[in-house]
Structure 1
């Protein structure tokens, strides 16, 4: 029968052995990624030649000053107003059905094309022609849409005033 194990010997690697192992791993990784490393070296070389690395280094050294300037600029009233308006506009756009926005956008484009055509042709409209045009189904549809839009907008303005 074999003798029982009474002690376990741990082999501890020296600092030199750990460094040698890390260097071997790094060497292996570099060999596997040779093409990528060459591209990175080319990119950094180009950045250095145009002075971008020097500029980046200067920016990193002045990071606190730059951060202070950026915070000062962002906290100005016009910038905060712009951000608030962007958020409000985004909220409005998310509440509208995309199909409606697309149809309205196409209608506006078509209307602009017709308006441009009328301007280039030098069309003039008299009062009688204006009254007759209300019976045109396309004009009537646009007028009805506009009137309903204005009615809804007026209701919204009334709700916000209360």
Structure 2
């Protein structure tokens, strides 16, 4: 009959064996990710050449002073309003349909381009009531006015619901 095992001896690696195992794992990982490491080293080289690494290093070394300056700026009057307004603007933009917003901004850009045409392309004219009435028959002017009126109606409805 076999003798019962009453004690298990765990083999503890020496520091040299642990270092050798770690080095072997590291070499294996480098070989496995060679292409990614080459790209990463190229990026680091470009950052160093542009001086960006030195900027980041300086910012990290002076992080406490930079943090203190940042907090001082946040404590100035108006900073909280700026942050709140920025958040409100981001929430507002998140509610808008991107396709409709693109259509609206494209129309605004075209309107701005048309409005600032050089003076020599369009003779200076005074705008009288008759001229305004004639412009209302223009389909482009009519479409713009209808868009503006729908915008004002929607804004008014939202204002009344407050």
TM-score (structure 1 length as normaliser): 0.67
**Structure 1 vs Structure 2 CA RMSD:** 3.7
Is the Cα contact below 8 Å between 1:30 and 1:37 reproduced in 2? Answer: no
CA distance in 1, matches of 2:47, 2:143: 61
Q: Report the counterpart of residue 112 of structure 1 in structure 2.
A: 112
Q: Report the counterpart of residue 84 of structure 1 in structure 2.
A: 84
Q: Aligned to 1:77, what secondary structure does the other structure show?
A: coil
Q: Report the counterpart of residue 15 of structure 2 in structure 1.
A: 15
Q: Report the counterpart of residue 5 of structure 2 in structure 1.
A: 6
Residues 148 and 119 of structure 1: is their aligned pair in 2 closer, same or farther, counting only changes over 3 Å? Answer: farther
TM-score (structure 2 length as normaliser): 0.67
Q: Which runs of 5+ in 2 are unaligned?
A: none
Q: Report the counterpart of residue 139 of structure 1 in structure 2.
A: 141
Instruction: Give how far 1:155 is off.
Output: 4.1
Q: Report the counterpart of residue 127 of structure 2 in structure 1.
A: 126
Looking at secondary structure, tell me which structure has more helix per residue. 1
Instruction: Give how far 1:134 is off.
Output: 1.6
Question: Which of the pair has more CA radius of gyration?
Answer: 1
The number of equivalent residue pairs is 158
